[in-house]
Amino acid sequence: MIKQFIKSREALLVLAILILLGLISSRFSGFIAPRNMASVFQDTSILIMLALGQMVVILTRCIDLSVASNLALTGMVVGLINVAAPGLPVPVLLLVAMSLGAFLGAINGILVWKVDIPPIVVTLGTLTVYRGIIFLISDGAWINAHEMSASFKAFPRYELLGQPVLSWMAVASIILFYLLVVRTPLGRAFYAVGGNPHAAVYTGINVGFTRFMAFVIAGAISGVCGYLWVSRYAVAYVDIAGGFELEVVAACVIGGISIAGGIGTIGGAVLGALFLGIIKNALPVVDISPFWQLAISGSAIIIAVAVNARSERKKGRIILKKAEHA
């Protein structure tokens, strides 16, 4: 087991993160203090959760570019609900956010499954549509901190065992997604559908439905993140989390989730998100312009894809050893 881990992509990522932390701490030693690491984790929680949702979609050989728009739309809707009915308890809002997110994901899923449109086209479309709906329902206006109820804003910050709920939500998501992916037939189907859709058909798996479910799950977690985002930053407007979908996809790719489907682990997705989260949090403290962040995460993506491509090619060579026949 240990031997296997050392050779795995996750080990490589852990190593990369350790080197990164080493470099940062050589310029600012406080960065690796446990307290700061915990706050980096908290800050990366939403990215981790979205990356988990994106991962199951990518596993099925699809992609969901609408996650950030979904997040922004659900965030706006729960924000408006909170303004209209400040007494509504947070768990109800969470449920609303999750259901609405799942519904938006289901729209993506139906279009991919029943109408047979390529996922990248579907979600590029819904990306714009969902953003547009935010404008329609909010009239372009912001919901500001003072309009939100105190409990609405306090929830993600509420501390349990010394850590904020936001971090615990990420931890819970990691556990749930691990169970889903590793221990349920649906999770197995994600891998089968992405790894070899033709073969999956012959084993009785409904490829379209499996993809649909992946979109619903990704949508549901985007919805939850919508509430978390709006309450954490205590603001909702049309453009929140604009372009964040690319960061989510980047986290997956850096984490070794194969864009061709069928390959990837929960550990990879989480580490990929943490890698980006650390860079994002470290750059200001080591006095590098945040604009460098884009260049650095871009380079990380290219390096990760190159590493993935190399290890996948090695596999191909072994297959080709089989004898050819006339």
Partner 1 sequence: MLASDTTTPKTAEAALSLRGISKEFPGVKALSDVSLDLYPGQVTALVGENGAGKSTIVKILTGIYQPNGGTIEVAGQKTQFANAHAASAAGVTAIHQETVLFDDLSVAENIFIGHAPRGRFGLIDRAKMNENARAILKQVGADINPVTRLRDLGIASKHMVAISRALSVDAQVVIMDEPTAALSHKEIAELYELVEKLKADGKAILFISHKFDEIFRIADRYTVFRDGQMAGEGLIEDVSEDDLVTMMVGRSVDQIYPKKDVTIGEPVLTVSGYSHPTEFDDINFELRQGEILGFYGLVGAGRSELMQALFGITKPSKGAIKIAGDIAIVRSPAEAIGRGIVYVPEDRGKQGAIIGLPIFQNVTLPSLHKTSQQGFLKLAEEFKLAREYTARLDLRAASLDQDIGELSGGNQQKVVIAKWLATKPRVIVVDEPTKGIDIGSKAAVHEFMGELAANGLAIIMVSSELPEILGMADRAIVMREGRMAGEFKRSEMTADRLVRAAAGIKEKAV
Which residues here bind partner 1, judged by CB under 8 A?
179, 182-185, 188, 191-192, 194-196, 198-206, 258, 262-263, 315-316, 318-319, 321-326
Nearer to partner 1, 141 or 175 (CB): 175
- Closest distance between partner 1 and the C-beta of residue 322, in Å? 4
Tokens for 96? Answer: 């609303």
- Closest distance between partner 1 and the C-beta of residue 20, in Å? 29
- Closest distance between partner 1 and the C-beta of residue 308, in Å? 12
From the list 172, 177, 167, the residue with the least C-alpha distance to 269 is 177
In the chain, the DSSP E strands lie at 159-160, 163-164
- Closest distance between partner 1 and the C-beta of residue 107, in Å? 24
Nearer to partner 1, 164 or 261 (CB): 261
- Closest distance between partner 1 and the C-beta of residue 131, in Å? 33
DSSP state of 143: B
- Using alpha carbons, list the distances in angstroms from residue 289 to 57, 286, 299: 33, 9, 16
Helix %, strand %, coil % of the chain (to 5)? 75, 0, 20
Query: In degrees rounded to 5, what are phi and psi of residue 134?
Result: -60, -45
Nearer to partner 1, 223 or 262 (CB): 262
State the Cα torsion 226-230-231-232 to the nearest 10°: 100
Nearer to partner 1, 69 or 258 (CB): 258
Nearer to partner 1, 146 or 322 (CB): 322
Nearer to partner 1, 35 or 322 (CB): 322
- Closest distance between partner 1 and the C-beta of residue 208, in Å? 11
From the list 35, 40, 98, the residue with the least C-alpha distance to 279 is 40
Tokens for 190? Answer: 């994600």
Rounded-to-integer distance, Cα 222 and Cα 195, Å? 25
List, in order, residues 6 or more apart from 151 with CB less than 8 Å away: 89, 90
